[in-house]
Chain A
Amino acid sequence: GEDVEQSLFLSVREGDSSVINCTYTDSSSTYLYWYKQEPGAGLQLLTYIFSNMDMKQDQRLTVLLNKKDKHLSLRIADTQTGDSAIYFCAERAAGNKLTFGGGTRVLVKP
């Protein structure tokens, strides 16, 4: 079955880059997503990548996909205190269902 894993916690200083990693198991994934969740709120779609791409950049966000290793990462450049949140990666496979990782809590220190 599908399984998506992320590290639990990341601490970073304001202005530095953050890198959040994610691994997945389903080789039939079509799209992979990164969502941001702030306390008590829904999920905000940050970016997504099609499975035949290996990189996507969108302003401060860079997504890298290693399909061979089934490894996805999200890099946030010039991390700000407003970036503190929980970040979920998700894979989309058969049936268009999303399978989420457990979430990575990012804490940005001033």
Chain B
Amino acid sequence: GAVVSQHPSRVICKSGTSVKIECRSLDFQATTMFWYRQFPKQSLMLMATSNEGSKATYEQGVEKDKFLINHASLTLSTLTVTSAHPEDSSFYICSAEDGTTNEKLFFGSGTQLSVL
């Protein structure tokens, strides 16, 4: 199946720093990518929808200035957690929609962010 690569898989940072997470579709073009957040033993909560070449659409309650999303190409979307605080610690997962089939949504392996 299609592969979505997410990097880094784990990051530990100091409070106040910014962290960038990359999401790449390796063998297909993804016009749309999604960013999710998952707390321990909980389900995935959609944070934002990222469309190539346009501004991301954020879900209610998600701070767009806090979580910057850039979808500069058909294979890459980035999520930057700005001025991270301990409450931002979470598991972040991206997914990408295969534009040719429009049916399947593939997920990256996730990024565990720990803010000290």
Which residues of A line the B interface, CB within 8 A? 31, 33, 35, 40-45, 48, 50, 88, 92, 95-103
- How long is the Cα–Cα vector from A100 to B42 in the complex, in angstroms? 10
Contact B42 A96 (CB under 8 A): no
Which residue of chain B lies nearest to A4 when distances are taken between CB atoms in the complex?
B43
Q: Which residues of A contact B49 (CB under 8 A)?
A: 95, 97
Chain B, interface SS category:
strand
Task: Show the binding face of B for A, using Cβ within 8 Å.
Answer: 1, 4, 6, 32, 34, 42-44, 46, 49, 93, 95, 97, 103-110, 112
Q: Indicate whether A31 sits within 8 Å of B32 (C-beta atoms), given known contacts A42-B109, A100-B44, A102-B42.
A: no
CB distance from A86 to the nearest CB of B (A): 9
Residues of B within 8 A of A97 (CB): 34, 46, 49
Partner of A41, one of B44, B95, B110: B110
- Contacting pair A41 B109 (CB below 8 A): yes
CA distance in complex: A29, B106 (Å): 18
Q: Which of A31, A42, A101 contacts B103 (CB 8 A)?
A: A31
Residues of B within 8 A of A96 (CB): 32, 97
**Minimum CB distance partner of A43 in chain B:** B107
On whether the beta carbons of B107 and A45 are closer than 8 Å, the reply is yes
Q: Give every chain A residue within 8 A of B105 (Cβ-Cβ).
A: 33, 45, 92, 98
Report whether B104 and A45 are in contact in the complex, using a CB–CB cutoff of 8 Å: yes
Contacts A40-B110, A95-B49 known; A48 to B104 CB distance under 8 Å?
Answer: yes
